[in-house]
């Protein structure tokens, strides 16, 4: 299908193009070598993170929308609390996986409007694939070559019929609360299959029908999840705060996300049926 058939605003097409350009740039570092350093919090940062950040921000300038980016000093809350819209960027999500060279890293760009994630794009540099969309536009899957020709596949909600329930989780973070959640799933659904995946690649599994639920009981930041939430919500899924059971919101004073569970529409339906 041609992208222009879905009438995506120019600003959103610019974001998709920025994600693809950044992913291509990241692969040059991945192939040629890079230096890694530690941030003040101990997490890694590489030349690829910094270069990707600069490229994305330069491309998004033309949209005249504010930017929040993992790799820069962001505006103080006193300023940004008045933003009605901004780009929320992780220029290289999964830096630990990038350094390990396991291919499980992505570029995340989300549009936040009035604290809601309304559009997101996640690009996989290694696979040269991307997913993008939002509740007002639908969700799409394509690769870099097809996008250049204006083509993408519109996704529809997946309904689990011929496989066990599938849970996708992080390679780098595991805590006891996740084990408790898994035990509940085993009790309610019987067999559960497990996928381990780094970065926001987990949202590929959720929206393409390979996984049903993604629990996260370890720290994440707003730029880690916003793009995936917008795309998942376009397919009727939700990313829910574990404590309140409400959807995650953005542009908080503290940019740390609460613990959450991302659920596909199929999982939400099955969960509701079991409560009935």
209 and 74 share one domain: no
Q: How does pLDDT run across 142-157, given as a tens digit for each residue?
A: 999 999 999 999 999 9
Confidence band for 1, pLDDT divided at 50, 70 and 90: low
First-last CA distance in the chain: 39
Residue from 169, 248, 244, 245 nearest 214 by CA: 169
**Strand intervals (E) in 29-72:** 36-38, 44-46, 66-69
Between 44 and 41, whose confidence is greater? 44
66 and 148 share one domain: yes
How much is the pLDDT for 40?
78
CATH code at 234? 3.40.190.80
110 and 235 share one domain: no
Report whether 275 contacts 184 (CB < 8 A).
no
Q: Which of 154, 183, 215 is the last residue of a domain?
A: 154
Residue from 111, 155, 152, 131 nearest 265 by CA: 155
Residue count of the chain, please give it: 276
Chain mean pLDDT for the chain? 93
Phi, psi (rounded to 5 degrees) for 243: -80, -40
Provide the b/e sequence for 245-269 (b: ≥16 CB within 10 Å): eeebbbbeeebebbbbbbbbbbbbe
CATH code at 71? 3.30.540.10
The DSSP call for residue 35 is -
How much is the pLDDT for 6?
61
149 and 169 share one domain: no
Helix, strand, coil percentages, rounded to 5, for the chain? 40, 30, 35
Q: How does pLDDT run across 191-214, given as a tens digit for each residue?
A: 999 999 999 999 999 999 999 999
Total domains, the chain: 2
In the sheet with 129-134, reading across from the earlier edge strand, the strands are 66-69, 85-93, 106-113, 116-124, 129-134, 138-143, 153-154
Between 226 and 1, whose confidence is greater? 226
Q: Which of 96, 131, 154 is the last residue of a domain?
A: 154
Domain of 63 in residue numbering reads as 3-154
- Is the pLDDT reported for residue 173 higher than 80? no
Confidence band for 270, pLDDT divided at 50, 70 and 90: very high
What burial class does residue 180 get, using C-beta atoms within 10 Å of its C-beta: 0-12 exposed, 13-18 middle, 19+ buried?
exposed
81 and 185 share one domain: no
- Is the pLDDT reported for residue 100 higher than 70? yes
- Is the pLDDT reported for residue 174 higher than 60? no
Q: Which of 154, 183, 212 is the last residue of a domain?
A: 154
173 and 144 share one domain: no
14 and 124 share one domain: yes
Q: What is the pTM for the complete model shown?
A: 0.95
């Amino acid at each position: 299908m041609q992208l222009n058939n879905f009438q995506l605003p120019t600003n959103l097409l610019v974001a998709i193009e920025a994600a693809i350009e950044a992913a291509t740039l990241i692969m040059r570092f991945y192939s040629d070598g890079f230096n890694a350093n530690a941030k003040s919090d101990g997490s890694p940062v590489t030349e690829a993170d910094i270069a990707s950040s600069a490229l994305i921000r330069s491309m998004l300038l033309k949209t005249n929308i504010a930017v929040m980016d993992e790799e820069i000093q962001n505006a103080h809350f006193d300023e940004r609390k008045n933003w009605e819209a901004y780009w929320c960027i992780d220029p290289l999500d999964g830096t630990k996986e990038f350094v390990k060279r396991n291919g499980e890293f992505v570029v995340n760009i989300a549009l936040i409007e009035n604290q809601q994630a309304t559009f997101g794009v996640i690009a996989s540099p290694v696979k040269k694939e991307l997913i993008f969309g939002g509740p007002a536009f639908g969700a799409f899957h394509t690769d870099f070559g097809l996008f250049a020709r204006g083509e993408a596949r519109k996704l529809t909600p997946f309904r689990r019929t011929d496989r066990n329930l599938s849970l996708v989780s992080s390679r780098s973070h595991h805590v006891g609360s996740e084990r408790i959640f898994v035990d509940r799933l085993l009790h309610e659904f019987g067999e559960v299959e497990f996928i381990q995946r780094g970065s926001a690649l987990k949202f590929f599994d959720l929206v393409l029908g390979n996984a049903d639920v993604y629990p996260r009981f370890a720290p994440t930041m707003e730029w880690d999840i916003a793009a995936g939430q917008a795309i998942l919500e376009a397919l009727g899924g939700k990313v829910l705060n574990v404590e309140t059971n409400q959807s995650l919101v953005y542009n908080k004073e503290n940019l740390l996300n609460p613990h959450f569970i991302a659920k596909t529409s199929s999982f939400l339906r099955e969960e509701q049926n079991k409560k009935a």
